[in-house]
A and B are shown apart, each in its own frame.
Chain A
Amino acid sequence: KAGVTQTPRYLIKTRGQQVTLSCSPISGHRSVSWYQQTPGQGLQFLFEYFSETQRNKGNFPGRFSGRQFSNSRSEMNVSTLELGDSALYLCASSFRDISYNEQFFGPGTRLTVL
């Protein structure tokens, strides 16, 4: 069974630009969550999508948004990039509710904002 895949793996952008990251969950998994990881703030929850609906949302500004498609694939968008958005963005999938089921994480997308 293929694991969670994220594309691209590395990305360099400049301030003010926008970026879209993609995540393909494990086949059959309906929940996709996104996390931001930085050395200073650690691992922070961004949002969770389940069956194309955002079900949980972390404490991030509206510049961070996401969506999920009918095939459970998910995209995350960050608009008007700031230097502080440089981070490892991790996607995780689970079969059902992420609170009750183990999450399977992808390798992450390393975003650098210059």
Chain B
Amino acid sequence: LAKTTQPISMDSYEGQEVNITCSHNNIATNDYITWYQQFPSQGPRFIIQGYKTKVTNEVASLFIPADRKSSTLSLPRVSLSDTAVYYCLVGLGGYNNTDKLIFGTGTRLQVFP
């Protein structure tokens, strides 16, 4: 099973770049890596997904090394509204796969003014 490990918390200041790393040593060949953001009393919200190398969208970048045993979510120029919990999800995918999906422990990001 692909267990994931993330830092419990991180602090940053507005305007800085934040990098959150997720470790997933047992990732399987057909697993994708997905990051979600969650605010209090809300369901998680999709940020970005990738399989290898680098993926970038309008809100974040995802860096995945060749061995895929870790991934790094990069948030450029964070603002106060980025204060949230960030989850790394490694999916044990494929139709009829009976393995379970593993969310990471989540990283609580606090952005200060």
> With a CB–CB cut-off of 8 A, which chain A residues contact B96?
55
Q: Indicate if B34 sits at the interface (CB-CB under 8 A).
A: yes
What does DSSP make chain B's interface, helix, strand, loop or mixed? loop
With an 8 Å Cβ cutoff, the count of chain A residues facing the other chain is 27
Known: A90-B43, A103-B36. 4 other contacts (CB 8 A): A43-B44, A56-B101, A106-B43, A107-B41
> With a CB–CB cut-off of 8 A, which chain B residues contact A104?
46
Known A44-B103, A100-B32; contact A92-B43, beta-carbon cutoff 8 A: yes
From B34, B97, B100, contact of A102 by CB (8 A): B34
What does DSSP make chain A's interface, helix, strand, loop or mixed? strand
Stretch at the interface among B13-21, B70-78, B87-95: B87-95
> With a CB–CB cut-off of 8 A, which chain B residues contact A42?
103, 105-106
Binary CB contact string for chain A from 72 to 96 against chain B (1 if under 8 A, 0 otherwise): 0000000000000000001010000
With an 8 Å Cβ cutoff, the count of chain B residues facing the other chain is 28
Query: Chain A's nearest CB lies how many Å from the CB of B90?
Result: 9
The residue on B at minimum CB distance from A46 is B100
**Interfacial residues of chain A within 15-35, with CB under 8 A of chain B in the complex:** 33, 35
Q: Indicate if A45 sits at the interface (CB-CB under 8 A).
A: yes
Give CA–CA (A108, B92) in the complex, Å: 24
Listed in ascending order, the chain B residues whose CB lies under 8 Å from chain A are 30-32, 34, 36, 41-46, 49, 87, 91-103, 105-106
Q: Indicate if A70 sits at the interface (CB-CB under 8 A).
A: no
B98 and A105: CB pair below 8 A?
A: no
Give CA–CA (A48, B87) in the complex, Å: 19
> With a CB–CB cut-off of 8 A, which chain B residues contact A103?
34, 36, 44, 46
The residue on A at minimum CB distance from B101 is A45
A99 and B32: CB pair below 8 A?
A: yes
Q: Indicate if A8 sits at the interface (CB-CB under 8 A).
A: no
B93 and A97: CB pair below 8 A?
A: yes
Q: Indicate if A113 sits at the interface (CB-CB under 8 A).
A: no
> With a CB–CB cut-off of 8 A, which chain A residues contact B92?
56, 99
Q: Indicate if A98 sits at the interface (CB-CB under 8 A).
A: yes
Known A90-B43, A99-B93, A99-B94; contact A45-B32, beta-carbon cutoff 8 A: no
Give CA–CA (A107, B41) in the complex, Å: 7
